């Protein structure tokens, strides 16, 4: 299956999207934070990134979901800065302090090509919501240099539908998180009470664009894959999130229910989330998925399942 961005490039759609996306940086409204700063002049909003994307690291990654990793790994590019800024972030230095190196569109393209040459099965943009224009511009040069593997948009789910429309026919695989169901939780941990509404809208738009995950010979080619990190003391939210995915997106959604929460960043100061989850919490989350009818769960065996 040819990645969809090749057609968008050939038909001139990609160039138009780049122009439109870059204009949005002048009064930045790329994400629901709507900071309205002029990033083209180096001003920075909540995500801490100006005109140029900043890359924290890149390389073949083997810790992602099985259909992304295959034999040779997922070609991850970790962007610095973030538009959600969770207080418990496991990559706190990257997201909250934007550590990394600035990249021009051509340099970003060279990174993509290097990952492809290393045999990676896809280009996996990690935390991309605040650098969509920079990604699109880098993609243009990467296609000219021969890029032809699927693109993965790996976000927190805190995306605007209008920004996602810039990626329609360009991104092959969407991999959003769905973190919180309640606005009280997203206010408490991200200062984003609108997160639940935005992520519900975003998932619907992502699914409209790419549908259920298509896997061939064990490798994901196109579609939606949703991640949910089980948090301590939040199982009610887990159940509501899984129910939403099954009933309002698709019961065939590929879902990764993750057990690796550990307190990081400011989480040690919050008594609700200052511990890892228990085995009982994780197994309850899995049982909810089963009851609700979600059957395409990521097959990597959790520590909690192994230790039964
Ligand atoms: S992308 Fe950054 S600057 Fe733009 S609205 Fe979002 S947080 Fe603000």
Domain ranges of the chain: 4-306
Protein residue with its CA nearest to atom 2 in ligand 1: 47
Q: What percent of the chain has pLDDT over 70?
A: 97
The residue written with tokens 């429309």 in the block is 165
Q: Do 49 and 40 contact (CB within 8 A), yes or no?
A: no
Q: What is the pLDDT of residue 12?
A: 97
Protein residue with its CA nearest to atom 3 in ligand 1: 45
Residue 238, sorted as left (phi over 0), alpha (psi -120 to 50) or beta, turns out to be alpha
Element housing 223 (H / E): strand 219-229
When the pLDDT of each residue in the chain is averaged and rounded to a whole number, the result is: 95
Averaged pLDDT, 101-107: 98
Q: Do 77 and 124 contact (CB within 8 A), yes or no?
A: yes
Ligand 1 atom closest to 49 (CA): 2
Q: How far is the CA of 16 from the centre of ligand 1 (A)?
A: 21
Element housing 106 (H / E): helix 105-117
According to CATH, what is the number of the domain 4-306? Answer: 3.20.20.70
Q: What percent of the chain has pLDDT over 90?
A: 91
Task: Say whether pLDDT at 264 is over 80.
Answer: yes
Averaged pLDDT, 120-134: 98
Q: How far is the CA of 189 from the centre of ligand 1 (A)?
A: 18
Model pLDDT for residues 137-168, shown as the tens digit of each residue: 999 999 999 999 999 999 999 999 999 999 99
Q: Do 108 and 131 contact (CB within 8 A), yes or no?
A: no
CA angle 177, 203, 111 (to 5 degrees): 60
Q: How confident is the model at residue 301 (pLDDT cuts 50, 70, 90)?
A: low
Model pLDDT for residues 168-203, shown as the tens digit of each residue: 999 999 999 999 999 999 999 999 999 999 999 999
Protein residue with its CA nearest to atom 6 in ligand 1: 31
Q: How far is the CA of 34 from the centre of ligand 1 (A)?
A: 6
State the pTM of this model: 0.96
Task: Say whether pLDDT at 32 is over 90.
Answer: yes
The residue written with tokens 């051509």 in the block is 106
Ligand 1 atom closest to 25 (CA): 4
Pocket of ligand 1 (CB under 6 A): 28-31, 33-35, 37, 45-47, 83, 130
């Amino acid at each position: 299956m040819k990645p969809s961005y090749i057609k968008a490039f050939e038909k001139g759609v990609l160039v138009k999207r780049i122009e439109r996306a870059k204009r949005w940086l002048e009064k930045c409204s790329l994400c629901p934070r709507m900071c309205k700063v002029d990033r083209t002049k180096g001003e920075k909003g909540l995500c801490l990134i100006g005109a140029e994307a900043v890359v924290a690291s890149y390389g073949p990654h083997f810790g992602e979901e099985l259909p992304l990793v295959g034999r040779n790994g997922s070609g991850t590019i970790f962007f610095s800065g973030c538009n959600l800024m969770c207080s418990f972030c496991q990559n706190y230095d990257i997201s909250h302090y934007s550590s990394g190196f600035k990249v021009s569109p051509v340099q970003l393209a060279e990174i993509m090509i290097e990952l492809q040459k290393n045999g990676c099965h896809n280009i996996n943009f990690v935390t991309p919501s605040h650098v969509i224009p920079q990604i699109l511009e880098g993609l243009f040069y990467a296609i000219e240099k021969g890029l032809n593997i699927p693109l993965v948009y790996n976000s927190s789910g805190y995306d605007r539908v209008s920004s996602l429309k810039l990626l329609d026919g360009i991104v092959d695989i969407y991999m959003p998180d769905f973190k919180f169901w309640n606005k009280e939780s997203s206010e408490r941990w991200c200062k984003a009470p609108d997160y639940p509404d935005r992520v519900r809208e975003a998932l619907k738009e992502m699914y409209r664009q790419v549908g259920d995950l298509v896997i061939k010979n064990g490798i994901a080619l196109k579609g939606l894959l949703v991640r949910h990190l089980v948090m301590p003391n939040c199982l009610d939210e887990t159940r509501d999130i899984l129910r939403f995915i099954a009933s309002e997106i698709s019961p065939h959604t590929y879902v990764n229910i993750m057990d690796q929460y550990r307190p990081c960043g400011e989480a040690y100061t919050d008594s609700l989330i200052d511990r890892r989850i228990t085995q009982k919490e994780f197994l309850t989350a899995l049982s909810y998925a089963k009851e609700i009818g979600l059957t395409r769960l990521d097959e990597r065996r959790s520590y909690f399942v192994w230790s039964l």
